[in-house]
Amino acid sequence: MVLVTGGNRGIGLATATRLAGEGHRVAVTYRREPPPGDGQVDVLGVCCDVTDEAQIDAAFAEVEAQLGPVEVLVSNAGITRDKLVMRMSEADFTDVIDANLTAGYRVAKRATRSMMRNRWGRIVFVSSVVGAMGQAGQANYAASKAGLVGLGRSLAKELASRNITVNVVAPGPVGTDMLNELDEQRRSAIIEAVPLGRLAEPSEVAAAISFLASDSAGYVTGAVIPVDGGLGMGG
Ligand SMILES: NC(=O)c1ccc[n+]([C@@H]2O[C@H](COP(=O)([O-])OP(=O)(O)OC[C@H]3O[C@@H](n4cnc5c(N)ncnc54)[C@H](OP(=O)(O)O)[C@@H]3O)[C@@H](O)[C@H]2O)c1
């Protein structure tokens, strides 16, 4: 089965919907609002804040009891708290690292238990083009997203002998709540910088995750797959 963190909206929901449509049993974590119960998305929602190890353990236990062992983990939950470093508090920095990077370590560690036993697994971390490029006002976010690459590649080496692949998807700007929070001027500047001249649809990021989760991607590990409209260009 597939577990997607932060799967009640945005990229996580698009990923859960796509993988459920492909026939996987899918569970998602959410904090306040469960995924839409409109009948279009057949996923199990479990409440879990990924900054809390005990909640992660309880969420895994619940999904394992209902749907079986986690075979595919998509570590997607993430936050921003944009500020110039001059104005950034230590909590602004460490809270973003905790939710975006340390949480990735927590969920991956928990997921590897059953993956090691089954000698098969897929872990996908959702990073960002900003992790490689940097972005004024996003030092905390960029550091967390760059950290996911080091975490993912180290895990890829640790887990390869157990037939567990670990990869990173690095989206550019995607049309979700995260980007809708920005003012119009900043959104337009971001879109202008993208060679393809538009935001990504969440489903376009989900498509790359779906490939990495598939049997076809069995020889892909430690990779960083950009889905960024050409913004990073290998940077
Ligand atoms: N949108 C973009 O332009 C963009 C670009 C590159 C990378 N990304 C990355 O893609 C991922 C998904 O982003 P999105 O655009 O879909 O954002 P979003 O619409 O703001 O959704 C964020 C998701 O993360 C969950 N979340 C945040 N903190 C959490 C916590 N402590 N515990 C559990 N869940 C938590 C949220 O749950 P609640 O609903 O409970 O808050 C929500 O489901 C993030 O890692 C983001 O950094 C986004």
What is the Å distance from ligand 1's center to 221 Cα? 24
Domain ranges of the chain: 2-220
What is the Å distance from ligand 1's center to 169 Cα? 14
Residue type, 113: R
Q: Does the beta carbon of 32 sit less than 6 angstroms from any atom of ligand 1?
A: yes
Question: Rounded to 5 degrees, what angle do the CA atoms 132, 14, 7 make?
Answer: 85
> Taking the mean position of all CA atoms in its chain, how far away is CA 215?
20
Cα distances (Å, whole numbers) of residue 174 to 43, 87, 161, 198: 23, 26, 34, 9
pLDDT of residue 226: 98
pLDDT of residue 38: 63
**DSSP code per residue over 115-143:** HHHHT-EEEEEE--THHHH--TT-HHHHH
Query: Quick one: which atom of ligand 1 is closest to the CA of 49?
Result: 32
Please list the ranges in the chain whose pLDDT falls under 70: 38-40
Residue 37: burial class (beta carbons within 10 Å; 0-12, 13-18, 19+):
exposed
Q: Does the beta carbon of 31 sit less than 6 angstroms from any atom of ligand 1?
A: yes
Place of tokens 């929602």: 45
Place of tokens 């708290």: 81
Q: Does the beta carbon of 6 sit less than 6 angstroms from any atom of ligand 1?
A: yes
Specify the length of the chain in residues: 235
Handedness of CA 5, 7, 9, 11 (dihedral sign): positive
What is the Å distance from ligand 1's center to 209 Cα? 15
What CATH fold (topology level) applies to the domain 2-220? Answer: Rossmann fold (3.40.50)
Q: Which tokens sit at 136?
A: 């004024």
219 catalytic, yes or no? no
Helix 90-97 / helix 139-159 crossing angle, nearest 10 deg: 30
Query: Within 10 Å of residue 38's Cβ, how many Cβ atoms?
Result: 6
Q: Does the beta carbon of 126 sit less than 6 angstroms from any atom of ligand 1?
A: yes
Burial 122-140 (b: 16+ CB within 10 A, else e): bbbbbbbbbbbbeeebbbb
The pick from 13, 15, 31, 204 for probing ligand 1's pocket by mutation, whose C-beta has the most ligand atoms within 8 angstroms, reads 31
Q: Which tokens sit at 130?
A: 């900003």
Q: Does the beta carbon of 10 sit less than 6 angstroms from any atom of ligand 1?
A: yes
Q: Are 87 and 172 in contact (CB under 8 A)?
A: no
Query: Quick one: which atom of ligand 1 is closest to the CA of 100?
Result: 45
pLDDT of residue 191: 94
What is the Å distance from ligand 1's center to 161 Cα? 31
Closest Cα to residue 74, out of 185, 219, 210? 210
